[in-house]
Amino acid sequence: MPSDTVQQVADMISSADRITVFTGAGMSAESGIATFRSGDDGLWGRFDPMMLASVDGWEADPHLVWGWYAWRIGQLRDVVPNAGHRALADLAQHKVVDVVTQNVDDLHERAGSTVVSHLHGSLTATRCSVCRAPYDGPVARPYHEQIDGDDLDSLRLAPPTCARCGGDVRPGVVWFGEMLPEREWASAVDSFDACDLVLVVGTSGIVYPAAGLPDRAAGRGVPIIEVNPDESALSGLATHSIRSTAASALPLLARVIDG
């Protein structure tokens, strides 16, 4: 990263009063959580999202879908926040920092950040698929914790049963074709409407309506800082783009800000 760009961005962060941080899958990649769209290595490059992340997929094969998410919840237990997560939590000690995330993990919270909006839900916020009652019971790991190639059959697992109505318990994520949670969306909109700097980290910027949020701030003349090793659909909005990963760029910016 050019040192003058780093210094300019650090100065903008230092002078901001309220920062909205908008994060995507790249934020957690260096913690060992697979991204969805990073070429052939992304989850949706290997598996059919409509089979695993849609209402139709759930109704067709709940054992497969639940096993897939139980596998991902198990992976989440084995990872920790990376240096980028920790740098954002440290920044919040000095600034008002709203984290709006598309990620369904809990790594921001575990690093010490306050997340004002989980736009796409949370893996661990499991609930009944019928009556929507929260489920706080155990989530067993699939018997086979490794996927054999692209074969998902080894992950099949019966969902837990809701104690209230007897329905199948589902993951607390937003599937394709579902509406975003109203409260989470409203909190995200409020954050983008109130901030004076936006930090966009590790998102492709192609999943709507979430990807439209930075436009709200840009339309008010708010600077947009992008941290992403690759160009994204939001790069055209960016005042500065730092072509680096979250775990590399964010601690570096924090060190420059601290002097």
Tell whether residue 154 is among the known ligand binding residues: no
Catalytic residue, chosen from 85, 108, 118, 120, is 120
Tell whether residue 246 is among the known ligand binding residues: yes
Tell whether residue 49 is among the known ligand binding residues: no
Tell whether residue 82 is among the known ligand binding residues: no
Tell whether residue 132 is among the known ligand binding residues: no
Tell whether residue 165 is among the known ligand binding residues: yes
Q: What distances in angstroms separate CA 232 from CA 120, 130, 242, one per listed residue?
A: 19, 38, 12
Vertex 77 angle, CA 73 and 82, to 5°: 115
Tell whether residue 195 is among the known ligand binding residues: no
> Do 232 and 201 touch, CB atoms closer than 8 A?
no
Whether 108 is catalytic is no
Binding site per annotation, positions for substrate: 69, 72
Binding site per annotation, positions for NAD(+): 102-105, 202-204, 228-230, 246
Binding site per annotation, positions for Zn(2+): 128, 131, 162, 165
Active-site residue list: 120
Binding site per annotation, positions: 69, 72, 102-105, 128, 131, 162, 165, 202-204, 228-230, 246
